[in-house]
Amino acid sequence: MLKLAGFDASGQSTVYDGRTGDAFDRKVTMGYIYMLKLHHLVDDKIHARSIGPYSLVTQQPLGGKAQFGGQRFGEMEVWALEAYGAAYTLQEMLTVKSDDVAGRTKVYEAIVRGDDTFEAGIPESFNVLVKEMRSLGLNVDLHNSKVGPAPTSEAAE
């Protein structure tokens, strides 16, 4: 079709400098440019959440902008924080900022008091796992005891 119109078959043409009238060294591909506008706008995409709805079963924040959900902190993000050595940040993200119901209240009270420490509890996802194991007929008992120091060689004698 290009040859029928009198153009080179490659679609390239010689272009001339408008100031001097000299031809440029290289040929230029010429033709119509078809452009499509992307309708992804920042105002439609931006989403933030301070508090919001939680799942009834796992007590974790819902996902997605439509449900006013939270940002998912995935497995690879957990690995990144582990590699960085941010243990306290990781503990906070996986407990009180996720599904530790009692921990949320404790953190709120600590912030009101001006205290910067918190004590993480048991995540609700762990309670769901225990209930699923019990539904399979497994006897799961949880003991709330603190582990003491490791025994020394003198104590063994």
Give the structural domain span for 124: 52-141
Distance in angstroms (rounded) separating the CA atoms of residues 94 and 76: 13
**46 part of a folded domain:** no
**130 part of a folded domain:** yes
* pTM of the complete model: 0.52
**25 part of a folded domain:** no
Could you tell me if 70 and 49 are in contact, meaning their C-beta atoms sit under 8 angstroms apart?
yes
**73 part of a folded domain:** yes
**pLDDT given at position 147:** 64
**37 part of a folded domain:** no
User: 57-66, 84-93, 138-147: which has the highest mean pLDDT?
Assistant: 84-93
**65 part of a folded domain:** yes
The CATH number assigned to the domain holding 75 equals 3.90.1800.10
- Looking at 67-144, list the stretches that DSSP marks H as alpha helix, in order from N- to C-terminal side: 75-84, 87-94, 101-113, 124-135
Please give the mean pLDDT across all residues of the chain.
82
**pLDDT given at position 148:** 60
pLDDT greater than 90 at residue 44: no
CA 40, 44, 48, 53 dihedral sign is negative
Number of structural domains found in the chain:
1
Q: Packing angle between helix 87-94 and helix 75-84, nearest 10 degrees?
A: 150
**98 part of a folded domain:** yes
**108 part of a folded domain:** yes
The more confidently predicted of residues 21 and 142 is 21
**pLDDT given at position 150:** 57
